[in-house]
Amino acid sequence: MQLSLEALLSMSPEQALLRVCNTSHVSGALCRGIADHVFSLRFKNPGLMERWGRVANAAALKTGDPDAAGIACAHFGNSLRVNGDCDAPFGLLDRAEELLPSPHPIIHEFRASLLLACRDFNGALSELRKAEKMRSASGDRIGLAKVLMQAGMVYDFQQQPGDAARMLEQSIELLIQCGTEGRELLVIALQNLGDCLISDGQLGKARALLNAIEEPFAATGEVNALKMMWLQGRLESYAAADNEARKLLEAARAGFREQNMRREVAFISLHLAALHYQFGRYATSVREALKVRVDLEVLGLDQDTEVTDLLGQIATRSVDLERALVTLTSAVSRSRQKRPTSV
């Protein structure tokens, strides 16, 4: 009996894995469908993404379609990277590249994300340049916009927000040309651009952008409304508007807590800690910083030696608090990319 994508997706990933392993052949279309499902879970449920990634990898071994097999194998590697594995994905991406009958930009894009997770910024940009050439040559404007967004993230992690903003502005120009097809990505790119402009100190430009996109951005759902509130809070903190910044950040944190988005809660607590430090409220800054403990435990970062050491030093005030807050925020960022991208 031939497997169908609809039937597989109605099962748990473990049941689906067993069915795929016990079948003699998987069609290329089914293999691709499973890979697409894996990719769709990257923001919604990373753990489930990895479990379905294993199904995609099993399907790659059962299909006679080398293109579908290579794509599925690449998605499995990317699912492992999203969940913090920075070793196995290299081999899986190499294998995917060997399976594919012709070069494919997704290999370079996934490898760039992996290298970014490993803090190899030059390597990530090198891979993205290869992907950019391939997307440009094929006339894939959506794909090219995604690559530019990803390059913006690399520059942001290098603490080069001006270069990050330039990449995002190019991406936004392409996405506007794509109309409704690029609308979802456009929302993400605009959010990221606002964040980068704030970090770059371009507060007037950032304020104008946030004012322009606030209503349509918030209309896309509760989570995006909270993200907008968070960005506005960051903007006010950079503008030294203490009371307004605290009001916005605390409201955004409460909303993310209701949504059970613990990474966002942790980030905002650290932003608030930095804000209190900025205005000389050092004891309050320490209290805010230590609030992240429960969130980091949920995120699995309570076993990270650097994180536990930093929290201990903050609690005993035996460290430069401002530097510790920056380092702790960076450690949380490394656990998973803080902004959504295409890969």
CA end-to-end distance (rounded Å), the chain:
34
Residue 234 predicted with pLDDT over 70: yes
The number of residues in the chain equals 343
- Say what the pLDDT of residue 340 is: 43
Q: What is the pTM of this model?
A: 0.79
- Say what the pLDDT of residue 339 is: 41
User: Looking at 123-137, 247-261, 315-329, which range is the least confident one?
Assistant: 315-329
- Say what the pLDDT of residue 97 is: 97
Residue 338 predicted with pLDDT over 70: no
Euclidean distance between CA atoms 274 and 268, whole angstroms? 10
Instruction: Provide the mean pLDDT of the chain.
Output: 89
Higher pLDDT, 187 or 26: 26
* pLDDT 10s digits, 238-274: 999 999 999 999 999 999 988 888 888 988 999 999 9
Residue 155 predicted with pLDDT over 70: yes
Residue 129 predicted with pLDDT over 80: yes
**What is the Cα gyration radius of the chain?**
21
Under a CB-based contact definition with an 8 Å cutoff, are residues 325 and 273 in contact?
Answer: yes
Q: Read off the amino acid at residue 74.
A: A
Split at pLDDT 50, 70, 90, the class of 343 is: low
Residue 2 predicted with pLDDT over 70: yes
